Amino acid sequence: MVNRMKFYIDGAWVDPAGKKTWAVVNPATEEAMYEIAVGSKEDIDKAVAAARRAFATFSRTNRDDRVALLTRIAEAYKKRAKEIATAISDEMGAPMGLAERAQAGAGLGHIMTTIDVLKGYKFEEPLGSATVLREPVGVIGMITPWNWPLNQIACKVAPAIAAGCTMVLKPSEYTPTSALIFAEIMHEAGVPKGVFNLVNGLGPEVGVAVSEHPGIDMISFTGSTRAGIDVAQRAAPTVKRVSQELGGKSPNIILDDADLQKAIAGGVTHCFNNSGQSCNAPTRMMVPHTRMKEAAALAKSVAEQAKPGDPKVDATTMGPVVNKIQWDKIQGLIKKGIDEGATLVTGGLGRPDGLNKGYYVRPTVFADVTNDMTIAREEIFGPVLSIIGYRDETDAVTMANDTPYGLAGYVWSGDVERGRKVARQLRAGNVNLNGVLNDRSAPFGGYKQSGNGREWGRFGLEEYLEVKAIAGFSPA
C-alpha cells in the first residue's frame, strides 16, 4: 500500500513538516480518490541536506557500481509496472493499454537505455597535452509533469544516477502515486540513502523552493514554457544550470508526393495520442492548398474512429484530459477556432456523445486554418488538430518555423531524400520522417521557447556532467 502522507528523504519514509494536503481527482469521474501530503520549504531543506551528504560518497562510486544499481532498479521496476500503469490511468486518464505499453513502458525503456550508455561511456579522454574529465554536476532538483509521469521521472533519474549525481524530485501533484511507487522501487533496489529524495507539493511552494535553493546545483524541469521561465528566473541568482523541456506547437508537413491517406492517418492518430497531452504532438498539419478538402475528409474519417471513454474499458482509445483547468482551456481554444473562422470539420465544444461526466474532449479537427489564428499559435494540449494549407515547399517550411516553439517537426514524403532536405530546414530539436518514432538513444529536446536541454541516451547523461580539463596530466 502506497503511503501518500509521507515523503522519501534520506533513505526513509518521513512525515512532512506541515499538515497541508491535496485532493487527487480521477479525471474520468471528477471524483476525489484520496489525499496526498504536500510539502514546504522545510521539507526541501531536509531533502537537499540529505542529497548533499550523499553526494560526497556517491559521486565517487565507479561505473560498475552504478550499472549494477541501475540494473537492480530496472528489475524492481518490472515487478511494479502494472501497478504504475494503473496509477497513471487513474490519475491522468490514459487508457490502460496506453498506460501499460507506452506510459509505464517508457520509464523502463529509459532505464535500460541508460544502462547501455553507461557501460560504454568515456568519462576521461586525452586532448592535446590535457585530459578532459566528465564529473557529476552535484545535487539535481527535478520537477516533472503529469502528462507522461514515469517517462519524465525515469529519463531524469536514470542518467543522474549514471553520472553520480544525487537528487530531489518534485513530481506533479496531479499524478503522485506512480512517483511514490517509483520511490519504493528505488528503496527496494538499494539506492544509497540520500541519493534519491522525493517531496510532493505544489509549484508555488515546493517548486519555488527547489528552484531557489542554494544547495541545488542544477534544475531539470519539464513543463509549460510559462513555468519554465519562472524556474529559470528563480534559479538565476545562484547561477544554477537549468535544463528545460517545455511546450511545443509542432508542424507536420505533408509534401505533395506523400501517400496522403497514410500521412493523414498517422498524423491524426499521433496528434490525438494521450488525449493530445504531449508536448511534441503534431498539432499543425500542413497540406497543399489544392488538397485541403481531401485532407479534411480523410482527417474527419480518422478522428471519428477514435473511441473516447472509460480508460478501464478495452475498446477505449482516448481517455479524459487531466483536470477541469485543462478542459476549460481546451474548450476556450476550440471556441476561438470557430470564432476566428476556421472550418470545424468534426468535434467541437462539449463532451463526446454519451459522456456526461469526466473531463472528456471531443476529438476535433479544424480545416482552412491560417498560421496566425490562435489555434495555430497556442499550445492547446488536447485532441485538437489544425489543418493549414501551403502554396509550395518553401511556404510550408516558412510557416512551420513561424512559431515561438521548436520541440518537434514531422515530414511525410514519397522521396526520403526530399524529406530529409525539408527536415534539415526545420528549427526543431526532433524531426520524424514518414511516421518513424523517436529513438530512445537519440537526443530529445527543443529549440527556442521549447527549451534548452537534451534528454535520452548519451545526451541525457551529459546533461548531468561537468567538464574539467587537467593540463599536463595523462591517465595511466
Active site residues: 245, 279
SS3 label, residue 389 = strand
For cell 529524495, the residue is 197
For cell 539506492, the residue is 191
Closest to 251 in 3D by CA, of 156, 95, 113, 389: 389
CA angle 289, 293, 294 (to 5 degrees): 100
Question: Is there a contact between 37 and 20 (Cβ–Cβ < 8 Å)?
Answer: yes
The DSSP secondary-structure symbol of 289 reads G
Strand ranges, E, within 382-460: 384-390, 408-412, 430-433
One-letter amino acid for residue 266 of the chain: G
Measured in whole angstroms, the distance separating CA 433 from the mean position of its chain's CA atoms is: 21
One-letter amino acid for residue 110 of the chain: H
User: Which residues lie closer than 8 Å to 439 by C-beta, 6 or more apart?
Assistant: 457
Question: Is there a contact between 136 and 164 (Cβ–Cβ < 8 Å)?
Answer: yes
User: Which residues lie closer than 8 Å to 229 by C-beta, 6 or more apart?
Assistant: none
Closest to 223 in 3D by CA, of 185, 175, 186, 167: 175
Residue 242: φ, ψ to 5°: -125, 115
Strand ranges, E, within 199-352: 218-222, 241-245, 251-254, 284-288, 343-346
CA angle 449, 450, 451 (to 5 degrees): 90
Measured in whole angstroms, the distance separating CA 50 from the mean position of its chain's CA atoms is: 27
Beta bridge partners of 390: 288
Tell how strand 251-254 and strand 284-288 pair up. parallel
Residues 15-23: contacts with CB under 8 Å, at least 24 apart? 16/40, 16/43, 17/42, 17/43, 17/46, 18/42, 22/173, 22/200, 22/202
Residue 303 burial (CB < 10 Å; 0-12/13-18/19+)?
Answer: buried
- Region of residue 164 (left: phi > 0; alpha: psi -120 to 50; beta: else): left
Question: Is there a contact between 249 and 283 (Cβ–Cβ < 8 Å)?
Answer: yes
Tell how strand 284-288 and strand 384-390 pair up. parallel
